[in-house]
Chains A and B, each alone.
Chain A
Amino acid sequence: QQQVKQSPQSLIVQKGGISIINCAYENTAFDYFPWYQQFPGKGPALLIAIRPDVSEKKEGRFTISFNKSAKQFSLHIMDSQPGDSATYFCAAIFNFGNEKLTFGTGTRLTIIP
Chain B
Amino acid sequence: KAGVTQTPRYLIKTRGQQVTLSCSPISGHRSVSWYQQTPGQGLQFLFEYFSETQRNKGNFPGRFSGRQFSNSRSEMNVSTLELGDSALYLCASSLRGPNTEAFFGQGTRLTVV
Write the residues of chain A forming the contact surface with B, with a CB cutoff of 8 angstroms: 31-32, 34, 36, 41-46, 49, 89, 93-95, 98-106
Query: Is B111 interfacial (CB-CB < 8 Å)?
Result: no
Q: Which residue of A lies closest to B104 (CB)?
A: A43
A43→B102 contact, CB < 8 A: no
Number of A-B contacts (CB under 8 A): 61
In the bound complex, residues from chain A placing their C-beta under 8 Å from that of B105 are 43
In the bound complex, residues from chain A placing their C-beta under 8 Å from that of B74 are none
A44→B104 contact, CB < 8 A: yes
In the bound complex, residues from chain A placing their C-beta under 8 Å from that of B33 are 99-101
Q: A44-B90, A105-B42, A106-B42 are in contact. Are A99 and B104 (CB under 8 A)?
A: no
Q: How far is the CA of A46 from the CA of B94 in the complex (A)?
A: 11
In the bound complex, residues from chain A placing their C-beta under 8 Å from that of B48 are 99-100
Q: Could you tell me the dominant secondary structure of chain B's interface residues?
A: strand
Q: How far is the CA of A95 from the CA of B56 in the complex (A)?
A: 13
In the bound complex, residues from chain A placing their C-beta under 8 Å from that of B43 are 44, 89, 101, 103, 106
Q: A43-B90, A43-B107, A44-B90 are in contact. Are A100 and B102 (CB under 8 A)?
A: no
Nearest-neighbour CB distance to chain B for A33, whole angstroms, equals 10
In the bound complex, residues from chain B placing their C-beta under 8 Å from that of A95 are 99
Known: A89-B43, A99-B50, A99-B55. 17 other contacts (CB 8 A): A34-B102, A41-B106, A43-B6, A43-B104, A43-B107, A44-B43, A45-B103, A46-B101, A93-B98, A94-B99, A99-B31, A100-B45, A100-B58, A101-B102, A103-B43, A105-B42, A106-B42
